[in-house]
Amino acid sequence: MNLHLLCGFPILYTSIDPNSYDKEKIVDTITNNYKKQNVRQNWSTSAYETNIHHSAGDEGNEKFTFPNYDKLTKTYIKPLQEYKKFIGLKKDIGLDLCIANYTCSSHKSFMEPHIHFECEFSMIHYLKFDQSQHAPTIFLNPYESWEWWSRTLKNKINCEKTHQAWVYSELSYPTKEDDLIIFPSMFRHFVNNKPSKDPRITVASNITLIKDQRTSEDKKLNV
């Protein structure tokens, strides 16, 4: 488990044991939905025509089967507890996680730069990811004025460590299947188009800060 600051903001990067939940059932459900309709994006506007199968805003569509995330959410407890300590939350404040959507994409698919609204933190879990054919998530440096400066600095400063990430205008991690990342939701991020034979599958969650520990609902987890 890797906890660090990226451009001064708290990041948790870890991996989830694929044998700790019913991964194959979830992947099969998402893959079958993708086979029914490879482009699904009711959330999008004309600026987000990205050729992806994305469940956001379309969860009630009876054409598709909704994945059962009950066992999956339990695997998120330890990373959330570690992140909670890392960011220094007060004792009476908890984290409320809700799985927001899944994304299944392949050839000619991409995702425009965006942030996650109405939450303080976000999480991406890479259920199916092949480094040889899938593109990683790219994060944009939140300090937009850094872009012109970074062009003159990045070839003059040793930037191999994450604490030097401020030099770059775009940042990414060497992603592997089963990896998970938690980050502040204000971090704009996107995925480039990379031709692939097999689908790239991710599950995205949103995390809000709560004053008290509420009873968990179907897709929610309180830590």
114, 45 contact by CB (below 8 A): no
Q: Is 30 helix (H, G, I), strand (E, B) or coil?
A: helix
The strand pairing partners of 117, in sequence order, are none
Query: What pLDDT was estimated at residue 46?
Result: 47
74, 15 contact by CB (below 8 A): no
Q: What is the pLDDT along the chain (223 residues), one digit of tens a residue?
A: 899 888 888 999 999 999 999 999 999 999 999 999 888 875 555 444 467 888 887 878 889 999 999 999 999 999 999 999 999 999 889 999 999 999 998 877 778 888 898 899 999 999 999 999 999 999 988 876 566 666 666 667 666 655 566 777 788 899 999 999 999 999 999 998 887 889 999 999 999 999 865 544 545 677 8
Domain that holds residue 177: 2-222
CATH number, domain with residue 150? 2.60.120.620
Query: What pLDDT was estimated at residue 215?
Result: 47
- Cα distance between residue 193 and residue 107, in whole Å: 8
Domains identified in the chain, total number: 1
The C-alpha angle with vertex 138 and arms to 135 and 140, in degrees rounded to 5, equals 160
- Cα distance between residue 70 and residue 219, in whole Å: 7
H/E stretch holding 220 reads strand 220-222
- Cα distance between residue 132 and residue 175, in whole Å: 11
Q: Which amino acid, 93? A: I
- Cα distance between residue 135 and residue 52, in whole Å: 14
In tens, the pLDDT along 11-36 reads: 999 999 999 999 999 999 999 999 99
The number of residues in the chain equals 223
In tens, the pLDDT along 28-71 reads: 999 999 999 888 875 555 444 467 888 887 878 889 999 999 99
Q: Which amino acid, 214? A: R
Note the maximum CA span of the chain: 55
The C-alpha angle with vertex 90 and arms to 2 and 95, in degrees rounded to 5, equals 60
Residue with tokens 């009630």, as numbered in its chain = 60
For 178, the token pair is: 């089963």
Helix, strand, coil in percent for the chain, rounding step 5: 20, 30, 45
Query: What pLDDT was estimated at residue 222?
Result: 79
